[in-house]
């Protein structure tokens, strides 16, 4: 809704009130019903180009319920109800209208389906308390009815505003910040308007100037939702963000406890159910959230040790697992062999076929190597670039060299196209006997030196490292 259309709507509503007024309130009520419908449509349209689409739709659904509640009142007026007490259907709809508002303001969002199910269960229990309490108020005398209804309304409206304001202040995403800015403005306006009408003008007749105030609030919401202006993103304190993220899951249980306190006089048993539901809901949500966090942490930890291209372990995974592999081999009474493997002329292959084809060759070679090393104690990783590394128990250097030759032959036999006929590999092998107490990381350096010699001897071959010597240095290799 543009500003010009909003002014036209409000002027029209003001003229209807001035010319007809309470004598025939139907005209004013029709315009009053149209205002939240326009706001609901504006929110739904806004959801099309916003990352906070679900929140905008819930807000539109909430204000649409308000319009339906007005329709129930209109039926009462048209049927000659006059200024009789508000019908139960309208009361329930006015109460239910705040449920989506409460959910969108207080629910943290995100999480898996079980966490969302807990949030929805708290909302359902909240609605049950609202519903039972509202039905009980209808049967009281007018003074108690108004007092109970106004207290419930003030608590609901005030907490929705507070929740929305907290979310707005701590939000750093531009789309969500704009939504919570709109919700905060609307919630504050509704809180002040409801407080004024409930406490200072509770007996204002239908069709009066109070209708214009209400329609004006929804027109403001429609203008804000339709506005093309978007506030710029702002930097939010990380500490504030952390505090709010940690505290938001408390909002729904807190509201449920507040409402349980309000209904305790008329429904003590239901109030106890509300308190227990709030505590159990928060506890269950906390457990489920921690489980989800732990699962995500485990996935990230696994990804941090996995090479995304080949699916093998990465260098970090190999370095961390080498000590364990060495201890397992010694427990078995075997030595430990380390094989450093390099794809021959890989740079030329990339230059000839392109990097995507080079990546496919890497994956193919990784699959061949992995297929040849199927024992549970065998450790294989992509060490970097076109290099792979393996560590495995081996009884002697001859066995390790034989395994290296088997790996070399398997890759050559696969016949993967390359700049030099087919893809081949060079392998450097280092071995340490079980009785030796040397650092297994020295095996990596010795295997690297052996690989260097294999490449300079013509590539596509396996070369064994000599026994460890003091002061050996790792040469600078360039393929």
Domain spans, the chain: 3-301, 315-464
pLDDT score of 79: 59
- Helix, strand or coil, per DSSP, at residue 342: strand
Expressed in angstroms, the distance from the first to the final Cα of the chain is: 67
| Lowest mean per-residue pLDDT among 1-5, 341-345, 366-370 | 1-5
pLDDT score of 97: 78
Q: Which two tokens stand for residue 221?
A: 């919401």
Q: Is the pLDDT of residue 474 over 50?
A: no
Confidence tier at 202 by pLDDT (50, 70, 90)? low
Q: Is the pLDDT of residue 283 over 60?
A: yes
Q: Give dist(CA 133, CA 363) in Å, integer.
A: 65
Confidence tier at 470 by pLDDT (50, 70, 90)? very low
Confidence tier at 156 by pLDDT (50, 70, 90)? confident
Q: Give dist(CA 72, CA 12) in Å, integer.
A: 23
CA trace torsion 109, 111, 117, 119 (10° rounding): -40
Q: Give dist(CA 60, CA 47) in Å, integer.
A: 9
Confidence tier at 148 by pLDDT (50, 70, 90)? low
Q: Give dist(CA 141, CA 222) in Å, integer.
A: 37
Cα distances (angstroms) measured from residue 211 to each of 26, 111, 201: 11, 41, 12
Residue 412: CB atoms within 10 A of its CB come to: 17
Cα distances (angstroms) measured from residue 280 to each of 122, 244, 259, 389: 10, 21, 16, 52
Q: Is the pLDDT of residue 473 over 50?
A: no
Q: Is the pLDDT of residue 195 over 80?
A: yes
pLDDT score of 84: 46
Q: Give dist(CA 448, CA 454) in Å, integer.
A: 10
Residues in Cβ contact with 234 at an 8 Å cutoff, skipping those fewer than 6 apart: 172, 177
Q: What is the mean pLDDT of the chain?
A: 84
pLDDT: which is higher, 144 or 385: 385
Residues in Cβ contact with 129 at an 8 Å cutoff, skipping those fewer than 6 apart: 256, 259, 260, 263, 267, 270, 271, 274
Q: Is the pLDDT of residue 15 over 60?
A: yes
Please give the average per-residue pLDDT across 81-107, as a whole number. Answer: 68
Please give the average per-residue pLDDT across 238-254, as a whole number. Answer: 86
Whether the CA torsion 129, 135, 138, 139 is positive or negative: it is negative
CA trace torsion 43, 44, 49, 51 (10° rounding): 80
CA trace torsion 107, 108, 114, 117 (10° rounding): 10
Percent of the chain beyond pLDDT 70?
A: 87
Confidence tier at 80 by pLDDT (50, 70, 90)? low
Q: Is the pLDDT of residue 140 over 70?
A: no
Of 96, 105, 68, nearest in space to 186 by CA: 105
pLDDT score of 477: 42
Q: Which two tokens stand for residue 108?
A: 């943290």
pLDDT one-digit tens code per residue, 356-371: 899 999 999 999 999 9
Whether the CA torsion 348, 353, 356, 360 is positive or negative: it is negative
Please give the average per-residue pLDDT across 190-201, as a whole number. Answer: 83
Confidence tier at 469 by pLDDT (50, 70, 90)? low
- 315-464, CATH topology level: Alpha-Beta Plaits (3.30.70)
pLDDT score of 479: 38
pLDDT one-digit tens code per residue, 291-316: 888 888 888 887 788 888 998 989 99
pLDDT: which is higher, 327 or 79: 327
Please give the average per-residue pLDDT across 464-477, as a whole number. Answer: 56
Q: Is the pLDDT of residue 229 over 90?
A: no
- 3-301, CATH topology level: Rhopdopsin 7-helix transmembrane proteins (1.20.1070)
Q: Is the pLDDT of residue 35 over 50?
A: yes
pLDDT score of 238: 85
pLDDT: which is higher, 257 or 112: 257
Cα distances (angstroms) measured from residue 281 to each of 152, 189, 252, 273: 22, 31, 9, 12
Please give the average per-residue pLDDT across 154-174, as a whole number. Answer: 88
Q: Is the pLDDT of residue 440 over 90?
A: no
pLDDT score of 460: 93
Q: Give dist(CA 471, CA 77) in Å, integer.
A: 100
Q: Give dist(CA 50, CA 55) in Å, integer.
A: 9
């Amino acid at each position: 809704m543009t500003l010009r259309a909003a002014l036209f709507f409000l002027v029209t509503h003001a003229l209807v009130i001035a010319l007809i007024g309470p004598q025939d309130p139907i005209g004013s009520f029709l315009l009053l019903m149209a205002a939240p419908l326009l706001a609901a449509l504006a929110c739904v349209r806004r959801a099309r180009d916003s990352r906070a689409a679900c929140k905008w739709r819930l807000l539109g659904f909430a204000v649409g319920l308000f319009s339906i509640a007005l329709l129930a009142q209109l039926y009462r007026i048209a049927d000659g109800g006059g200024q009789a007490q508000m019908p139960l259907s309208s009361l329930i709809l006015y109460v239910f209208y705040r449920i989506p508002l409460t959910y969108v303001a207080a629910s943290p969002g995100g999480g898996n389906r079980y966490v969302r199910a807990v949030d929805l269960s708290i909302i359902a229990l909240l609605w049950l308390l609202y519903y039972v309490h509202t039905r009980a108020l209808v049967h009281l005398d007018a003074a108690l009815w108004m007092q109970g209804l106004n207290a419930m309304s003030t608590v609901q409206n005030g907490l929705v505003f507070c929740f929305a304001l907290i979310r707005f202040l701590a939000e750093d995403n531009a789309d969500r910040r704009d939504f919570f800015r709109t919700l905060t403005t609307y919630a504050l306006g509704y809180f002040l308007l409801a407080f004024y009408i409930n406490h200072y003008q509770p007996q204002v007749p239908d069709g009066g100037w109070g209708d214009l105030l209400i329609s004006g609030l929804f027109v403001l919401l429609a203008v804000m939702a339709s506005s093309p202006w978007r506030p710029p993103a702002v930097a939010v304190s990380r500490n504030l963000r952390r505090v709010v993220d940690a505290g938001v899951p408390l909002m729904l249980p807190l509201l449920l406890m507040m409402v349980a306190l309000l209904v305790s006089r008329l429904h003590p048993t239901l109030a106890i159910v509300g308190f227990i539901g709030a505590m159990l809901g928060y506890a269950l949500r906390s457990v489920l959230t921690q489980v989800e966090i732990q699962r995500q942490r485990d996935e990230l930890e696994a990804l941090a040790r996995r090479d995304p291209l080949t699916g093998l372990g990465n260098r970090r995974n190999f370095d961390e697992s080498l000590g364990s592999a060495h201890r397992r081999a010694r427990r078995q009474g075997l030595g430990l062999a380390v094989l450093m493997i390099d794809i021959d002329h890989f740079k030329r292959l990339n230059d000839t076929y392109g990097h995507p084809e080079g990546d496919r060759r890497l994956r193919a070679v990784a699959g061949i190597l992995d297929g040849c090393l199927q024992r549970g104690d065998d450790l294989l990783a992509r060490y970097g670039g076109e290099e792979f590394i393996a560590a495995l128990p081996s009884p002697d250097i001859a066995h390790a060299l034989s395994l290296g030759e088997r790996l070399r032959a398997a890759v050559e036999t696969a016949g993967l196209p390359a700049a030099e006929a087919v893809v081949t590999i060079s392998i450097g092998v280092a071995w340490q006997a079980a009785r030796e107490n040397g650092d297994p990381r020295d095996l990596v350096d010795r295997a690297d030196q052996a690989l260097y010699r294999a490449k300079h001897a013509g590539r596509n071959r396996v070369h064994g490292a000599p026994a460890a010597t003091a002061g050996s240095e790792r040469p600078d290799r360039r393929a």
